[in-house]
Amino acid sequence: MPGGRTYAYQVVDVFTDVPFEGNPLAVFPDAAGLGDEQMQTLARELNLSETSFVFPPAEPKHAAKVRIFTPLSEMPFAGHPTIGTAYVVATLGRIPKNATSFVLEENVGPIALRLERRDPFLAWLTTPPMRFEATYDAAGCALALGLAADDLLGERYPAHVVSAGNPFLFVAFRDKATVDRAELDVRALERVAPGFTASGVFIFAPTKEGVYARMFAPMSGVREDPATGSATGPLGAYLAHYGLIEKRDGGRFVNEQGTKIKRRSLLHGILRVQDGALQTVEVGGGAVKVIDATVTLGDGGSP
């Protein structure tokens, strides 16, 4: 458009090293000048689970300030945009060559990242403080997912909301095949959990490595998310709390997510435990670029 301003962006696949797997993310690495409405419009137009916008940091020692939007709203924090944005700023040379740690500023606060390697890329974020919230009738949640009470992992594992900035409802099932049969009925869930406000419903079955999972978030404009980093820290807290993994410092697990929708993602978790108490969960994964593109805004600054 004559007189318009052009913004570059990349689409990267996150929590994978394989193009066209993992969770796609659009990253605008130079978003200065974009307003709230423009960012929301661009996120809606690109229609990915999230789009991130990179700004200069408020604190000069930090790498960048990042704002994250779903097609419907802004998020305080999200895992795959954090890892994907870290990949973009690192490959653009904005992280010093010898640096192995840096901070991204997000609406939830500063997010510490540990850079394990650059090629192939692998970075770890430190999950924000986690808290256990409401529990709901697990059998009712199973029905809302098109499953039966007999499909649940067992009575010892309640349907529990755990949050690290974004709350997720965790529901445990007995095996992978059961997880793959699930389909969320939002109205049925509302009957089980009136006023339900969590960011999504995260369902899983234990595996030798950790879990096999799916995450439904129609309330955020995402029917099913291929990889949910902001849920993987709380997932680790759930697994440790209910004895599905050993609660020890350095304990590891893998969240395999997105396989059902042909976007296989591997999200790695490391428990950080002190004096028998879980302090945080590091969440790590890879990323790979698949698209370089630009978008031009009109004379009035609107998409």
Nearest partner of 286 among 84, 95, 92, judged by Cα:
84
Cβ proximity of 201 and 55 under 8 Å: no
Q: Is 256 a catalytic residue?
A: no
Count of residues in the chain:
303
Nearest partner of 271 among 299, 246, 244, judged by Cα:
246
Which H or E element spans position 22?
Answer: none
User: What do you get for the CA distance between the two ends of the chain, in Å?
Assistant: 10
C-alpha angle 59-65-68 in degrees, rounded to nearest 5: 155
Judging by beta carbons within 10 Å of its beta carbon (0-12, 13-18, 19+), is residue 241 exposed, middle or buried? middle
Ordered alpha helix ranges (H), the chain? 36-46, 79-91, 138-144, 176-181, 186-192, 229-241
Instruction: Determine which one of 21, 45, 50, 105 is catalytic.
Output: 50
Instruction: Give the separation between CA 293 and CA 291, rounded to whole angstroms.
Output: 6
Cβ proximity of 168 and 203 under 8 Å: no
| Residues marked as catalytic | 50
